[in-house]
Chains A and B, each alone.
Chain A
Amino acid sequence: MSLTYLEAIREAQAKLLRDDYRVFIYGQDVGGTFGGAFKATKGLATEFPGRVLNTPISEDAIVGTAIGAAMQGMRPIVEMQFADFSSIALNQILNNAGTHYWRTGVPVPITVRLPSGGTKGSGPFHSQSMESLYAHYPGLIVMTPATVEDAYTMLIEAVAIDDPVVYCEHKYLYYHLKADKLPDKGLPTGRARIAREGRDLTIVSYSAMTQESLAAAEELAREGLDVEVVDLRTVKPLDTDTVLASVARTGRLLCVGESFPWGGTTAEVIARVTSQGFYLLDAAPQRLNAKDTPIPYHPNLWSAHRPNAKNIVAKARALLRE
């Protein structure tokens, strides 16, 4: 029996609905027999009547409602149809949910699921990776699972956390990643995972780019170059310790992220390593992101726009030659 990344998300939600009466799912097209644009809630409305609710196209109000419900003791899971549309709800997520505990002492336990990242032909408004934007604001936890197992355990943890969690699930990984079974527990939230051990270079990445980095590492291994891949798992909090320990072992750092280049997760990792681990670096740290343009529609342009195993290999190779 093998499960896809998407099925793991569905299983997690089923378990949550089953085990915790406070959980309900709120979003566009999640209910009925339709079960969501990506089928992440297929069958759940039938199995848990009254707890998987279709909403109007009102991202602000969807999150606002979730915030109110969470304040009164519920554990809502909001499904945004695409991460890109969460910009409408930015105000509620950043300014309301993100500030509420700090301002009033009352935490807001909402989980907002963002189907993120590019797939061929999706275009500028169905492909975005917004984790850097959300991580920038205080009061939020931002998760970016890269494996089927993490997609499962981290969503369950997200709902258990009393603070607002932005859960960035990657659309490309939905059907491309499979696992044999689901674990009971994962690494604790906030801990990064060494996805591949290595000695010559550290690649820090997250979400789909972890998979691309692993593919790049395989390619480089054929040339005798041994690359360590660190999967951040959550972008905020960022596991600086694991990253520093890895750079301490290898001396060289390449950060790979799918979001836009200015600022963002890769910049944050490099800033921390440079200021806290300057003397661990045997060469200048580097990063690889998508280009500083909106995400293109045409598959040729789309694959040139974002990092992939090939250009990760090229960048890593250049860094190793320094």
Chain B
Amino acid sequence: MLQTVQRTAKVKRKKGAPASVGEAAAGKATPPHERFLEAFRWMLLARTLEEKLVSLYRGGQITGGVYIGKGQEAVSVACGLFLEKGDIFAPLIRDQAGRSAFGEPLVDVTRTYLGSRLGPMRGRDGNIHRGHPRDNELAMISHLGAMVSVTVGTLMAKRFRGEKKFVGLTCIGEGGMQTGAFHEGMNIAAVEQVPLVVVATNNHYAYSTPNDREFASDDLVERAIGYGFEGYSLDGTDLAACLDVIGGAVKRARAGRPPQMVVASVLRLSGHGEHDDASYVPEEMKRQPFARDCLKVAGQMIIESNLLDPDTLAEWRKNAVAQVDDAIATAQKEAVPEGDKEDWCALSTRHLVDHVGEDE
């Protein structure tokens, strides 16, 4: 009944694309994927934004945690890029690039982090818990794995309503994959046969815990068979590969294949949060192939293959900075939430609010 798992994805090359980075033809070469530059631009924006957030955090301007996706931008952008209107995206912690590619306004991020009352959660929740459920960008809760079944539910609803050709995509890490909630969610997704893509990034550290204390399987992608998914492995540092494999998974899901699981390999290039210095990551880990910085790799490829001239690239960089600065400036000018102006109401049905009596 199930397809066999493809253990390693073949990086599909467009006809005429160079076989390797070094084999650039003279003049502008064809990018290794038709959306390569578009994806790169989102990655650049994400990186620029997050670097700025880090410096704001270190400057004491952000209360609470800051979680960035440094090193995972390639995987993430691929998650958001291929989703269309009507698709469901349930991002997790390190998905800034994907969120932007999906259409989340930059100012949502800065408003949430800088505590503007106009942010998507109006101060009631913070950092990466934000979302726009009505725009199909789900708002995660901290309990990892919980969003898988929620995504399944959204897809079932669409099916109930007779919609067609939609997909849902949710992200998880190798740590989050070990929760009972993840397991239940994966199983029920396959039982319900929903068009779901689960992109799992093994960034080799779940907070401070390395893989050998996180799971015992040889290769996480082997679990796909166990769940009834189709599974693909991915070198998460290779943007072209990410676009191919994840783009392919989204296409297959949309076409009615069983749920798709992609397991990407990278190294987390930051702390778990910006409060964490990740000093537990040994030096030799940082020299592994999966430890390459996907943004640098893609940038290098662009230069070496002459996909963009340096001036344009510099322009793109400047542009990213400008967009980020603008979003920050906007958020900084805005009012903050105030305790005595909150309506302190957790129900949408106002007449059913429970009046405890003490604080009225």
A interface with B by C-beta (< 8 Å): 22, 24, 55-56, 58-74, 76, 88, 91-92, 95-96, 98-104, 106-107, 138-139, 141, 161-163, 189-190, 236-238, 240, 272, 275-276
- Specify the chain A residue showing the minimal Cβ separation from B180: A60
Q: Within 8 Å CB of B157, what residues of A?
A: 68-74
A-B contact pairs, 25 of them (CB 8 A): A22-B160, A58-B184, A60-B185, A61-B148, A62-B149, A65-B153, A65-B156, A68-B151, A68-B154, A68-B156, A70-B157, A71-B157, A72-B161, A74-B157, A88-B180, A92-B149, A96-B141, A101-B348, A103-B121, A104-B120, A104-B139, A161-B349, A189-B352, A240-B357, A272-B356
Does the CB pair B146–A60 fall under 8 Å?
Answer: yes
Does the CB pair B347–A106 fall under 8 Å?
Answer: no
Does the CB pair A163–B146 fall under 8 Å?
Answer: no
> Shortest beta-carbon distance, B125 to chain A, in Å?
4
Q: Within 8 Å CB of B356, what residues of A?
A: 272
Q: Is B333 close to A, CB under 8 A?
A: no
Does the CB pair B150–A71 fall under 8 Å?
Answer: yes
Task: Find the residue from A95, A104, A238, A275 having the highest chain B CB count within 10 A.
Answer: A104
Q: Within 8 Å CB of B129, what residues of A?
A: 103
Q: Within 8 Å CB of A240, what residues of B?
A: 355, 357
- Specify the chain B residue showing the minimal Cβ separation from A68: B153
Does the CB pair B134–A106 fall under 8 Å?
Answer: yes
Selected interface stretch from B26-34, B187-195, B255-263, B324-332: B187-195
Task: Find the residue from A98, A100, A272 having the highest chain B CB count within 10 A.
Answer: A100
Does the CB pair A138–B346 fall under 8 Å?
Answer: yes
Contacts A95-B143, A163-B347 given; indicate if A238 touches B150 (C-beta within 8 A).
no
Contacts A68-B150, A71-B150 given; indicate if A60 touches B156 (C-beta within 8 A).
no
Query: Using an 8 Å CB-CB cutoff, how does the interface string of B344-360 with A read, 1 for contact, 0 for none?
Result: 01111101111111100
Q: Within 8 Å CB of B348, what residues of A?
A: 101, 107, 162-163
Apart from A60-B185, A103-B125, what are 6 other A-B pairs with CB-CB below 8 Å? A65-B149, A68-B155, A72-B154, A95-B141, A104-B121, A106-B133
> Shortest beta-carbon distance, B175 to chain A, in Å?
16
Does the CB pair B188–A65 fall under 8 Å?
Answer: yes
Q: Is B152 close to A, CB under 8 A?
A: yes
Does the CB pair B188–A62 fall under 8 Å?
Answer: yes
Does the CB pair A69–B154 fall under 8 Å?
Answer: yes
Segment 85-131 of B: residues with Cβ below 8 Å from A:
120-121, 124-125, 129, 131
Q: Is B181 close to A, CB under 8 A?
A: yes
Q: On chain B, which size bracket covers the interface? A: 35 or more
Contact residue among B125, B150, B154, B188 (Cβ-Cβ distance under 8 Å from A58): B188
Contact residue among B124, B149, B184, B352 (Cβ-Cβ distance under 8 Å from A103): B124
Contacts A56-B187, A58-B187, A276-B357 given; indicate if A64 touches B153 (C-beta within 8 A).
yes
Does the CB pair B355–A65 fall under 8 Å?
Answer: no
Q: Is B158 close to A, CB under 8 A?
A: yes
- Distance A237 CA – B347 CA, assembled complex (angstroms): 11
Does the CB pair B347–A92 fall under 8 Å?
Answer: no
Contact residue among A56, A67, A272 (Cβ-Cβ distance under 8 Å from B150): A67
Contact residue among A56, A59, A101 (Cβ-Cβ distance under 8 Å from B347): A101
Contacts A61-B184, A72-B158, A91-B143 given; indicate if A162 touches B152 (C-beta within 8 A).
no
Q: Within 8 Å CB of A22, what residues of B?
A: 160
Does the CB pair A103–B150 fall under 8 Å?
Answer: no
Q: Within 8 Å CB of A163, what residues of B?
A: 347-349, 352
- Distance A253 CA – B156 CA, assembled complex (angstroms): 49
Q: Within 8 Å CB of A103, what residues of B?
A: 121, 124-125, 129, 139
- Distance A220 CA – B332 CA, assembled complex (angstroms): 68
Contact residue among A59, A62, A162, A236 (Cβ-Cβ distance under 8 Å from B354): A236
Q: Within 8 Å CB of A102, what residues of B?
A: 124, 345-346
Q: Within 8 Å CB of A138, what residues of B?
A: 346
> Shortest beta-carbon distance, A166 to chain B, in Å?
13
Q: Within 8 Å CB of A66, what residues of B?
A: 153
> Shortest beta-carbon distance, A18 to chain B, in Å?
16
> Shortest beta-carbon distance, B213 to chain A, in Å?
23
> Shortest beta-carbon distance, A275 to chain B, in Å?
6
- Specify the chain A residue showing the minimal Cβ separation from B143: A91
Q: Within 8 Å CB of B188, what residues of A?
A: 55-56, 58, 61-62, 65
- Specify the chain B residue showing the minimal Cβ separation from A235: B354
Task: Find the residue from B129, B134, B141 having the highest chain A CB count within 10 A.
Answer: B141
- Distance A190 CA – B141 CA, assembled complex (angstroms): 29
- Distance A65 CA – B351 CA, assembled complex (angstroms): 28
Does the CB pair A61–B131 fall under 8 Å?
Answer: no
> Shortest beta-carbon distance, B147 to chain A, in Å?
8
**Sorted from nearest, which 10 A-B pairs have the closest CB atoms?**
A68-B153, A64-B149, A61-B184, A72-B157, A58-B184, A237-B354, A61-B149, A65-B153, A69-B153, A107-B348
> Shortest beta-carbon distance, A102 to chain B, in Å?
5
Does the CB pair B152–A65 fall under 8 Å?
Answer: yes
Contact residue among A104, A141, A238 (Cβ-Cβ distance under 8 Å from B133): A104
Does the CB pair A91–B153 fall under 8 Å?
Answer: no
Does the CB pair B154–A61 fall under 8 Å?
Answer: no
Does the CB pair B354–A68 fall under 8 Å?
Answer: no
Q: Within 8 Å CB of A139, what residues of B?
A: 346-347
Q: Within 8 Å CB of A65, what residues of B?
A: 149-150, 152-153, 156, 188, 192
Q: Within 8 Å CB of B358, what residues of A?
A: 275
> Shortest beta-carbon distance, B1 to chain A, in Å?
17
Does the CB pair B153–A60 fall under 8 Å?
Answer: no
- Specify the chain B residue showing the minimal Cβ separation from A96: B141
Contacts A64-B148, A100-B139, A104-B131 given; indicate if A141 touches B352 (C-beta within 8 A).
yes
> Shortest beta-carbon distance, B357 to chain A, in Å?
5
Q: Within 8 Å CB of A88, what residues of B?
A: 180
Task: Find the residue from B141, B157, B161, B185 having the highest chain A CB count within 10 A.
Answer: B157
- Distance A247 CA – B10 CA, assembled complex (angstroms): 75
- Specify the chain A residue showing the minimal Cβ separation from B191: A56
- Distance A106 CA – B150 CA, assembled complex (angstroms): 14
- Specify the chain B residue showing the minimal Cβ separation from A88: B180
> Shortest beta-carbon distance, B79 to chain A, in Å?
18
- Distance A189 CA – B347 CA, assembled complex (angstroms): 14
- Distance A265 CA – B125 CA, assembled complex (angstroms): 29
Q: Within 8 Å CB of B353, what residues of A?
A: 237
